[in-house]
Structure 1
């Protein structure tokens, strides 16, 4: 990241190193940043505090992620920048309603990317890494993105070899059938397709007639297998998707 040892770097260089670390890794704690860049945690905290004031990084429950200004500077799509800015509040509403992890994913080519997440308060929970690449064919949130992708993307995914992550990863025929069902029903449910024992419910978010992301709630089947939980989770994700779509279509003045 920087050829100079930390003790020879200027204050400006250390600040840039910390910002670049967060940009490249996606989600880190103060201790992880300190280890990565070789700067004491107390110093990292001071730099991060300044970066937060400039909206270059954001803090969520002790973890630091790229802020909307950093996403804009890195050249990512403006919609993704706006989603990252708005995403945490709607994800928190899902967690409040379900006590399980909420995830926002976007499509990038033939993959999905975890753009934002808010984790469950339970010690046993499912989570991803910010900016983690995910397969479009496995998992509820990713499959929602695939179902509403351009026809050439769907054809490419269905035509390629589909990696099997668990014994419940969908076959090509089942996946093709599920994509049509998602478009009809407006949501997807998965059971252990990507992570064993995980149950997930996801819905698309539309703006300007185009899908812009998916919102997912996921938890272990020991807590999330009942019809009552699935109904509650579906309602929470639907409300969050509507709120996010409205915020993107009709943004308040910053």
Structure 2
């Protein structure tokens, strides 16, 4: 009887390692070196080198000098999975996951004319909560979601700047120069955190979601009472927020500005 020869790791084991490698990347860490991938996965250096090389060869990962990032082709391969589904159907489960991981309300805002509108949400289970409902219309110049919607839409920003910036709380930005600086910082950082701008005692942090043309679709937001969400808590939630925004972008077949 002929004994089968060992042809290498079982396919499912290889897939698990590939999944670990791909999971190493996030919106907060879009580019990694081989050493960083190794540290993130705990895989041996030789395994990381071999699998990353294969992933680059098949377009799953792109190489940028001595660093690596998720391949742009991944977005095109993922697109058929969500074709025919409404964007809100796709992002709804991710909002619930974000709500469950933080305990606070997770929303999705879109720009409508000179306002922002809540088009999807997963409400906190805490008894103490800030009022929010589907279809709620809010100003663009106050709050983290508005900051994000302005940061990636220059025409909308120009339009908002032509109108008076009405004060809502003592922390609302009412100076066009201050708003310009805040929006510029949001675009540089890739997210926005605000405290008390739209409502006293309320905090929020938001990040952008993009479509296949790298155009802004909307802003995903975590919001709640400042009592539970002081700034240091908001900062600790930036990474899960950015990961959610990235997942939403990929699932709708989107890509980020600057990707080929």
Q: CA RMSD in A?
A: 1.7
SS in 1 for 2:218: strand
Task: Name the structure with the higher helix share.
Answer: 1
CA–CA distance in 2 between the matches of 1:214 and 1:226?
19
Deviations 1:9-40 (A, max 9, x none): xxxxxxxxxxxxxxxxxxxxxxxxxxxxxxxx
Give yes or no for contact 2:107–2:121 (8 Å, CA) kept in 1.
yes
TM-score (norm 2): 0.62
Deviations 1:218-240 (A, max 9, x none): 1111111152x223321221111
Give the alignment of 1:86-165 within 5 angstroms: 86-149=90-153, 151-165=154-168
Name segments (4+ residues, structure 1) moved above 3 Å.
none
Give yes or no for contact 1:97–1:232 (8 Å, CA) kept in 2.
no
- In the TM superposition, residue 207 of structure 1 has moved relative to its aligned partner by 1.8
Residue segments in structure 1 that go unaligned for 5+ positions in a row: 1-78
Give yes or no for contact 1:119–1:127 (8 Å, CA) kept in 2.
no
Equivalent in 195, 200, 209 of residue 199 of structure 2: 195
CA–CA distance in 1 between the matches of 2:130 and 2:91?
18
Give yes or no for contact 1:202–1:216 (8 Å, CA) kept in 2.
yes
CA–CA distance in 2 between the matches of 1:190 and 1:242?
21
Deviations 1:107-154 (A, max 9, x none): 1121111001111111111242211211111110121001111x3321
Q: Which has the higher contact order (CA 8 A, sep 6+)?
A: 2
SS in 1 for 2:165: coil
CA–CA distance in 1 between the matches of 2:216 and 2:88?
15
Equivalent in 213, 222, 232 of residue 218 of structure 2: 213
Deviations 1:27-56 (A, max 9, x none): xxxxxxxxxxxxxxxxxxxxxxxxxxxxxx
Q: Structure 1 residues 245 and 127 mapped into 2: Cα distance closer, same or farther (>3 Å)?
A: farther
CA–CA distance in 1 between the matches of 2:227 and 2:167?
23
- In the TM superposition, residue 171 of structure 1 has moved relative to its aligned partner by 2.2
TM-score (norm 1): 0.63
Q: Structure 1 residues 246 and 127 mapped into 2: Cα distance closer, same or farther (>3 Å)?
A: farther
SS in 2 for 1:222: coil
- Give 1 or 2 for the bigger CA radius of gyration: 2
Give the alignment of 1:5-154 within 5 angstroms: 82-149=86-153, 151-154=154-157
Paired residues, what number? Answer: 169
Deviations 1:177-231 (A, max 9, x none): 111011100000111111110111100011221110100001111111152x223
